[in-house]
Structure 1
Amino acid sequence: MKSHRLTSGLAIALTILFTLSAVPALAVEVKEKTCDAIQKAIYQLPPEGGEVSLLPGTYSCSAPIIMDRHNVTLRGTGPATLLRLADKANAPVIIMGMAEGIPSRTTRYIKVRDLMIDGNRANQLSECMGGPCSMEFPLRNNGISIRRCEDCAVQSVTVFGAMSGGLVTELGCRRLNIRDYTSFDNEFDGLAGYETEDSTFTGIHLYGNKAAGISTDIKFNNNKFYDVTISNNGTVGIFMRDSLDNAFTNMHIRDNIQHGVFLAQVNTDAATGATGNTFTSVVISQSGGVGFLANDASCVNNMLVGAQFVNNRHGCIGEAASGLVENIGAICR
C-alpha cells in the first residue's frame, strides 16, 4: 500500500510538472499592427513563457516572427487577425523553432492559433530568405516553418500566397499537432513534411496550390492524418518519398492536375521508397493521371482499405511492379 501511494504521488507530481511546462503563464496583448511588435512581445515574456494575443486587423511583417523560446503561444482572434508579409520582405512569416540554418537545439511547446497568414507572393523576389536557395540561404519563405520543434501545435490557421510552401515541418520535429489547417494559392505545396515523426494532422483542407497538396520526404515516419480534403492542386494530391508507416484516414482527393497519390523513391536510391503507408476510407476522383500510383518497385507494403476511385483519367491504381499495393475493398469506376 505504501509503495502504491508513492507511485501515485509521483504520477501526480509529474502531471503537475508537465502542465506547468506546457501551459503559458502570462498573456500579453499586441496593439501595434506590426510583426516587429509581436516579436518584441515574445522576447519580453518571462523565462517560463506565456501567450502573445493579437487583436483583429492586419499586421505587416517586414521580417519573420521567430518563436524560438519554449512555452510560447501566439493567438489571434480568428480570420479577423491577418499577418501579411510586406512587399519585398522575402522571408517566412512565422518560424516555430530556431532560424539558424541547422537548429542547434530543440524548441518545445510552441503554439500558433486562430489567425490567417498572407505570404504576398506577387510582391516577393525569391523563394529563400536572403537570396537564391543554397547552404548560405536555406530558409524557405513559407507561411509557417516548423523547425526541430517538439510538442508544438498549429490550430485554426489559414495560410495563402506564400512564395514557397504554406506550412513546412522539418529538421527533427516530433509530436506535432496540426489541427484545422487550410492552405491555398502557395507557390509550392500546401503542407510539406521532412524529418518529422509521431505527429497528428487533423481537419486539413488544401486547394489551389501550384504544386502538391501534401508533400513528404526525408524520414517522414509514423504520422497520422485524419479528415483531409485536397483539391485542384497544380501537380499531385499527395507526393511521398522516404516516408514510412504513415496513416491517412477519411480523405477526399479530387481534381488535381496529375495523380491523386504518387509514391516514389529518391532518384535511384531504393532505400528511400515510400513504404508501409496505409490509406483508409479514401475517395480519389477526377485526377489528370492515375488515382493512386506506386511509381517505383521499392514502394512496398502500402495498403488501401475501403477506397473509391472515380473518373481518374489514366485509371485507378498503377504499380511499377505487381503486388506493391495491398488493396482491400476498393471500387474503381
Structure 2
Amino acid sequence: MKPIGSGALATAVLVLVMGTIPHGSGRNGMESYPAKAESSSAGTSAPGHSLTPPLGESAKPVAVEQPALPGALLVIDAARFPSLQAAFDALPEQGGLVRLPPGRFPIYAPLTLSRSNVRIEGAGPATCIVNLNQEGKPALVVQPADLDKNPKARLWRVQLANFRICGDPEAKDAASTKPASGTGLVTHWVQELTLHNLWIDHCGGHGVHLIHCEENPCIRHCSFTYNMQAGVQLEGCHDIVVSACQFEENQDALRCLDGFNLTMTGNNIDDHRANGIAIENTYGSVLSGNMIEECSGTAIILDRDCYGITLSANVIAHNTGGGVHLRDAWGCAVSANTFVLNAAFGVLVESQSGRLTIAGNAFTDSFVGQGIRRTPEDNAARGILLRGTRDVLITGNSFSGLAEHAVHADAECRRIFVVGNLTVDCHRASQGQGEVLHLGPAENAHQQSNLLVPPEALEQDKPPAPKPKKKP
C-alpha cells in the first residue's frame, strides 16, 4: 500500500469537511432571501428552500485549504460557509480575498470586518445583502477589532467591490421607502479604503459613512440611491476621491465635514430631497465635472470655515433652493460652471464669506434660440446675490434670460469688482425694466467694461418672418 502524501491528505480532509457544511442560516445565511421576512424565521422552511436552524454569530468557520504558492493569501469562497460573518472571520491576520456568491442574503445584525489587506468582492448587484434590522443598526461595519480599547488602532488597505447592500426588504425600484434599518456601510479608522462598484440603497441612515479615514479613501463607480440620510457622509477624512458615482433621491448626495482635500469629479446627482453637496470646515478641495440637477434644496453649500476650494465645470440645473451657497467660504473660486434655471439664486455669497473669484460662468434660462424656451412655464433663473460680503471679483460671466438682476449687492458689501461680463435679456420679470448690475451703496464697489445688451437690441435678433411660398 502506497503512503498518502500530505497534499492528497489535506485535499481529502477538505472535501470531507466541505461535504458537511450547512448551506444557509436564518441570520447571515447563504440561502436566497424569501419573499417575506416571516418565512425565514428560525426552524422553518420557505417554499423551495431548505433552511437550517440559525447559527449564531459564533458559528465555527470551516476548514480552508492553504495555498500551495509561497506567500499567497487565502481566497475564501463564502458560499462554503454557514454565514457571511463566518466567511469574514475566516480571514487570517495577513488578510486575503473573500468572494461572495450571487444571491440574496438577509442579516439581522451588523456584519463586521476587522482585517487589513482585504478585498471583499461579489457578483455585482446579483450579490445582495439585505439589512432586516429594525433598530437602526448598519449592515456592514469595517473597523479595527480593538478600537474601543485602543484608540490608535487602524486598518489598512481594505477594498469592497461588486455587491449590493439594501436596507429595506420591501424596497421597490425607482421609489423611496421608509426603512427602519441603519446606515448601509460604516468604516471607522480605515486607511487607504477603496469602494468600487457598490450599489447601496434604501437604507434608514446614510448609504456610506466614513469616519476618520485619514489616508486616501477612494469611492468610485458606485450607486447611492433612496437612502434616508446622505448617500455618502464623510467625517474627518483626508485626501478623498469620489468619482463617477450616481446619486439619486437620498436626503443629501454627499456631506464632507471637518476634512481635507476632497476631489469630487464626474458624478451625477439627481432629485435629492434636500441638498446636493454640503462641505463644512474643509480645506483645499475641488468639485469639477459634476451634474447636479433638481435638488429640493441647494446644489452646493460651503459652510463653517471652508477655504481654498474650487468649484469648476459643473452643470448646476433646476435646483429649487439655489445653485451655490457660500455661507462661510474664503479664498474660493467658482468658475466655468453652467447655472441653468436656478430660481432662488445662481450664486449666493453671505457675510461670513469673502476673497472670492466668480469667473467664466454661464447663468441662463431654457432659451434655445429663435424666441423658443424649452420650459416656458417653469423658466425662472437668477444670477449672483451678494449679502454683506467683501473682496469679490466677478468677471467673464454671461447672464442671460434672468428674472431679475445679473448681480445684486446690498449696502453692507465692500470692495466688489465687476468687470468684463455680458448681460442679455435680464429683468424678464419686469419686462426688462431695472438695473442689471446693482452694486448700490456698496463701499468701494466698481464696475467696468461690461456689455449690457438693452431689450430693444433683442428685436434685431429675431429671425425674419418666413416668406410666403410662390405659387407654381
Give the structure 1 partner of residue 238 of structure 2: 174
SS of alignment partner, residue 253 of structure 1 = strand
Q: Choose from 217, 225, 243 the match for 1:160.
A: 225
The answer (yes or no) to whether the contact 2:340–2:364 under 8 Å persists in 1 is: yes
SS at 2:292 equivalent: strand
1:310 aligned to which of 353, 364, 367: 364
Distance 1:198 1:97 in 2: 23
Aligned in 2, Cα 1:71/1:196: closer, same or farther, shift over 3 Å?
farther
Alpha-carbon spacing, 1:27–1:141, altered in 2? closer, same or farther (3 Å): farther
Structure 1 residue aligned with 2:151: 104
Q: CA deviation at 1:90?
A: 1.9
Report the Cα offset of residue 193 of structure 1. Answer: 0.7
| More deviation, 141-150/119-128 | 119-128
Give me the TM-score of the superposition, normalised by structure 2. 0.53
Give the corresponding residue for 2:355.
301
Match of 2:119 in 1: 73
Which residue does 1:44 correspond to in 2?
A: 90
Alpha carbons of structure 1 residues 298 and 93: separation in structure 2 relative to 1, 3 Å? same
Task: Look up the equivalent residue of 1:182 and give its one-letter code.
Answer: Q
Please give the alpha-carbon distance, in whole angstroms, between the structure 1 residues aligned to 2:289 and 2:94: 35
Q: Which residue, 308, 322, 340 being the options, matches 1:285?
A: 340
Q: 2:216 is matched with which residue: 136, 146, 151? A: 151
Q: Which residue in 1 is equivalent to 2:18?
A: none
What is the alpha-carbon distance in structure 2 between the residues aligned to residue 116 and residue 176 of structure 1?
A: 22
- Given the alignment, which residue of 290, 293, 298 partners 1:236? 298
- Name the % identity: 21
Spell out the pairing of 1:16-31 with structure 2 (5 A cutoff).
26-31=74-79
| Cα distance between partner residues in 2 of 1:57 and 1:287 | 43
Could you say if the C-alpha distance between residues 282 and 123 of structure 1 is closer, same or farther in structure 2, counting changes exceeding 3 Å?
same
For 2:75 and 2:265, the matched residues in 1 are separated by: 27
Amino acid corresponding to residue 387 of structure 2 in structure 1: A
* Secondary structure at 1:122 match in 2: coil
**Are the structure 2 counterparts of residues 251 and 125 from structure 1 closer, same or farther at C-alpha, using a change threshold of 3 Å?**
same
| 1:25 to partner: Cα distance | 5.3
- What is the alpha-carbon distance in structure 1 between the residues aligned to residue 220 and residue 277 of structure 2? 17
3-state secondary structure, aligned to 2:221: strand
State the 1:251 CA deviation.
0.9
- Relative to structure 1, the CA distance from residue 94 to residue 255 in structure 2 (aligned partners, 3 Å threshold; closer, same or farther) is farther
Which stretch of structure 1 is more off in the superposition, 80-89 or 173-182? 80-89
Identify the residue that residue 133 of structure 1 maps to in structure 2.
none
State the shift of 1:297 in Å: 1.4
Q: Which has the higher contact order (CA 8 A, sep 6+)?
A: 1
Q: Contact (CA 8 Å) 1:118, 1:159: kept in 2 or not?
A: no
SS at match of 2:87: helix
- Scaled by the length of structure 1, the TM-score of the pair is 0.73
1:197-208 correspondence runs (5 A): 197-208=260-271
Single out whichever of 222-231 and 312-321 deviates more from structure 2. Answer: 312-321
The answer to whether the 8 A contact 2:76-2:98 is kept is yes
Report the alpha carbon displacement of residue 191 of structure 1 after superposing the two structures with TM.
Answer: 0.8
Change (3 A) 1:313 1:147: same
Q: Is the 8 A contact 1:94 1:144 kept in 2?
A: no
Distance 1:94 1:211 in 2: 25
State the partner residue of 2:196.
Answer: none
Matched residues, number: 286
How big is the shift at 1:301?
2.2
- Asked if the contact 2:206/2:228 (under 8 Å) is kept, the reply is yes
**Structure 2 unaligned runs (5+)?**
1-71, 169-175, 185-203, 366-378, 401-472
Cα deviation for residue 119 of structure 1 reads 3.8
CA contact (8 A) 2:287 2:311 kept: yes
Q: Who is 1:222 aligned against?
A: 284
In the alignment, the residues of structure 1 paired with residue 293 and residue 324 of structure 2 have an alpha-carbon distance, to the nearest angstrom, of 12
1:276 aligns with 2:339: no
Measured in 2, the distance between the counterparts of 1:246 and 1:213 equals 16
Partner Cα distance (1:310, 1:246) in 2: 24
For 1:259, which of 318, 322, 332 is the aligned residue? 322
Question: How far off is 1:46 after superposition?
Answer: 2.4
| Superposition deviation, residue 314 in structure 1 | 5.8
Contact 2:340-2:381 at 8 Å conserved across structures: no
- Structure with higher Rg: it is 2
- Corresponding residue number in structure 2 for 1:134: none
Distance change >3 Å, CA 77–CA 275, structure 1 → 2: farther
Q: Which has the higher strand share?
A: 1
1:327 to 394, 401, 405: 394
* Unaligned 5+ runs, structure 1: 1-23, 130-139, 265-272
